[in-house]
Chain A
Amino acid sequence: MDEKELLARLAGLEEPAVLATIVSAKGSTPRKTGARMLVGTGGVIAGTVGGGCGEGEVIEAAHELFRGGGPRTVRVDLTDELTSWSPAVCGGIMDVFIERANPDLFTRS
């Protein structure tokens, strides 16, 4: 999701939403720093921070914000044992910042 799409989606928000952004990534992660995802109460609205590899954890954390939690950094560890058949075996660690999204998120003065 590039900034043009993000701004258009923020402007058109009709429900509470959370913006998740990869703010740092080390090792093998499916998406790199700067990748974003917009999450609504019903699920992902747009974008991705890596699909199966760690995205579920981020969506869960987003729901804590809907329940009144504050903005925070979620550390997603994708270095599970290969033999576990977990989806989190990509091999890297990433920090995903989650915050409540609203139309003036980037332009507040």
Chain B
Amino acid sequence: MDALEKGERIHTAVVTDSADPSLIGRRWWRSGRRNGGTLGSPSLDDKVAAALPTLFPPRESRGALSRDFEYREGGRAGNARVYVELHGPPARMVIVGAGHVAIPLARLGDMLGLRVEVLDDRPDFAARERFPEAAAVRVIDFRDPFADTPLAPYDHVVLVTRGHSFDYECLVRLLRMADPPDYIGMIGSRRRVRATHEQLLRDGFTTAEMGRVRAPVGLDLGGQTPVEIAVSVAAEIVMFHSGGSGVPLVDKERVVERFFSRRSPGTPTPSRRATE
């Protein structure tokens, strides 16, 4: 628990199947250079320890999978199916701008299991009581917005400040980081996003770097209110992690059309409000 709070990368392993039944249920763990327990064979422990760096990508902080291992113990060959979990530091949702959108977004981020941190330069907005679900609420200076918020590649940053000049300051800082977060989103209309990108180009950023930014942030749900916008951002984060397409499942699976009717492919399912 302490190691988890400190943000260490902890691996736990358990034998779930083996020709040698005495191994089943044996557990082993490693945290940094420390380890404990055993999978029932020192050689199997070594095999799993050696495989850890290849099991989970370094940019991931969580993971779970099963692998088959072969080992030799006392001259005899053995095999075991081992289930390994990676318990890294919790990924964060860092919301910059403590306004209308931030309030529902902080709640949704917490529900998604992210560690929510809210930043703003206005003490009245970056106030603890406005964000009961947040793990941290910080008053910042936009000249160095992430001074007290070191970011990891698996963190999520959502820029929803009151002005695009502030969003821009944050964006430049993020893109200049040695290893920026994989998810960087910025709110904005097409026009304002375009203006931001023009400024990025003038400041010497490449189109590849610009392409790292999710702007406008969120999925196209057509919503307008702060809650609806927050849902669209939260939905994009789920999609980012799960590899979904973002299209309605009914249109992706097309069960009626595939199995029951002759409706021409690609006809969208009607929504309450027709596309304008």
Contact = CB atoms under 8 A, between A and B. Distances in A.
A45 interface: no
Given A4-B4, A21-B83, A106 B66 contact: no
Interface string B175-213: 000000000000000000000000000000000000000
Main secondary structure of the interface of B (DSSP, over half): strand
A81 interface: no
Contact of A72 (B24, B62, B64): B24
A60 B113 CA distance: 30
A83 to B, nearest CB: 14
Interface string B109-132: 000010000000000000000000
A70 B87 CA distance: 26
13 contacts: A7-B1, A7-B4, A23-B66, A34-B63, A34-B64, A70-B25, A73-B16, A95-B16, A95-B66, A107-B36, A108-B27, A108-B36, A109-B37
B14 interface: yes
Judged by DSSP, the binding face of A is mixed
Interface of A: 2-4, 7, 11, 21, 23-24, 33-34, 70-73, 95, 97, 99, 105-109
Interface string B74-104: 0000000101010100000000000000000
Contacts of A21: 83
Nearest to A99: B25
Closest 8 CB pairs of A and B: A71-B25, A34-B64, A109-B36, A23-B83, A97-B16, A24-B66, A108-B37, A23-B66
Contacts of A105: 27
Contacts of A23: 16, 64, 66, 83
Interface string B22-41: 00110101000000110000
B16 A107 contact: no
B12 interface: yes
Contacts of B133: none
Contact of A107 (B24, B29, B63, B81): B29
